[in-house]
Chains A and B, each alone.
Chain A
Amino acid sequence: MVADPVLLQAVADLFPNGISRYAVGGLLVGLGTVLIYIGTGIPAGASTFLESTLSYVSDQSRFQQYVGSRDWRLVFTVGVILGGLAFAATFQSGLVTSSLYEPGTTGQLYEVAGVTLWQTDVQPWRLFIGGILVGIGTRIGKGCTSGHGVCGVGSASKTSLAGVLTFLTVAVGTAQVVAALGVSP
């Protein structure tokens, strides 16, 4: 195979961390979704948890409609958190290594009880304001990156494809504007 070094360099510039960690991570996200679907028939999304959990403390009708699913959604979210911790205790801590895993250089690493943990450099006010808009938008828009992006796209749902196209385009524009305004990190 004749490889053009200029072309290879251009591709490497687009994927400075390779693609394997993204693809393997995505397969695992899909596998988690499939495990739940096989056993329960439920295509699980992450953002309904926000409203279903509010039903424990608020009797607004928008939240009370999720009373039937709030317990398992809480279990799901605790699982997701512990899954992140399991990753931290293995690959992030260097206990397990693989050529498919690229550690990268973002944020700050710190250690607690032998486990290497990770902390973002992105400023709290950005996370908080962004979080508010994510909370409003995912619930009005009927789904997020998992509900629309994974389950909806996996079901070839036109509604979800429209949702994904919308949030992806707007997010790219927003991130570019924020970066151009010099907000970093």
Chain B
Amino acid sequence: MADRHPLFKPLIFVGGIVFGFGLGFSHMARPEVVLNFLQFDDLGLPFVMFGAAIVSGVAFALLPRIRDAAPFTGDPYERRLKPFDRNVLVGGAVFGVGWGFSGICPGAAYASLGVGNVTILWALAGMFVGAYAQGYWRSRRQTRDTAATGAD
């Protein structure tokens, strides 16, 4: 990690700016717009997530054929698939309740702060509380089960 390319972080930064600009432009950074979609009042929102998935999908498919490894990390271009288990469904359902209740998800919350939505700090505070609570609990459980299964 110490020998990472000097452009590693600048590239992450620029990528983040484009990503956040897109969330602002699409209005996904506005909880109202997400709630309007979930209540079927405006069905445009899926174009954001699936549009982005198509663009990244093309890159994920093409890059391994063009180069072996990424220039700034030396990491191979490979699919990093997360293992499936019950947590994906349980966590997804809990996330779904939160998303449907508030209209905000993590990336959109960061961008929402950028477009001036100071009130979104409530959601960000909640996300840190939630992330801490599950991490605290799971760290404890992991320590207790010394024969760690290495799950997740």
Looking at B7, B104, B127, the one whose CB has the most chain A CB atoms below 10 A away is B127
Contact of A159 (CB < 8 Å), options: B35, B56, B81: B81
Give the residue name and chain of the B residue nearest to A34 (CB). Answer: B59
- Residue on B nearest A54 in the bound complex, by CB: B132
Residues of B within 8 A of A79 (CB): 12-17, 19-20
Expressed in whole angstroms, the Cα–Cα distance for A91 and B114 within the complex equals 13
CA–CA, A115 and B143, complex, Å: 50
Closest to A57 in B: B132
The smallest beta-carbon distance between A23 and chain B, in angstroms, is 4
With A23-B51, A79-B14 already in contact, the answer to whether A159 and B88 are too (CB < 8 A) is yes
CB pair B26–A22 under 8 Å, yes or no, is: yes
Interface size classification for chain B: 35 or more
Shortest Cβ distance from residue B143 to the other chain A in the assembled complex, whole angstroms: 7
B122→A140 contact, CB < 8 A: no
A33 touches B20 (CB 8 A): no
Q: Which residues of B contact A151 (CB under 8 A)?
A: 53, 56
A152 vs B152: C-alpha distance in the bound complex, in angstroms? 16
Interface residues of B in 22-45 (CB under 8 A from A): 22-33, 35-36, 38-45
In whole angstroms, what is the CA distance A129 to B99 when docked? 10
A169 at the B interface (CB under 8 A)? yes
User: How many pairs of A and B residues are in contact by the CB < 8 Å rule?
Assistant: 550
Residues in chain B near residue A115, CB distance under 8 A: 116
| CB–CB A135/B32 < 8 A | no
A149 touches B38 (CB 8 A): no
CA gap between A78 and B133 in the complex, in Å? 24
Partner of A27, one of B1, B51, B119: B51
Q: Contacting A134 at CB < 8 Å: which of B7, B13, B35, B127?
A: B127
What is the CA–CA distance of A7 and B21 in the complex, to the nearest angstrom? 34
Report whether A107 and B52 are in contact in the complex, using a CB–CB cutoff of 8 Å. Answer: no
Min CB–CB distance B60 → chain A (angstroms):
5
Q: Are A68 and B19 in contact (CB under 8 A)?
A: no
- Is residue A97 within 8 Å, beta carbon to beta carbon, of the partner chain? no
Residues in B lying within 8 Å of A, measured CB to CB: 1, 7-9, 11-33, 35-36, 38-57, 59-60, 63, 69-73, 75-84, 87-120, 122-136, 138-139, 142-143, 152
A–B pairs, 24, beta carbons within 8 Å: A29-B19, A30-B51, A30-B52, A37-B56, A39-B73, A40-B70, A41-B73, A54-B128, A54-B135, A58-B132, A83-B18, A86-B24, A88-B114, A118-B30, A120-B32, A122-B103, A126-B102, A140-B134, A141-B87, A154-B59, A167-B93, A174-B38, A175-B35, A176-B39
Given A128-B122, A163-B91, list of 12 further CB < 8 A pairs? A19-B47, A30-B55, A36-B11, A43-B56, A49-B110, A79-B16, A135-B130, A135-B131, A159-B82, A175-B39, A175-B103, A185-B32
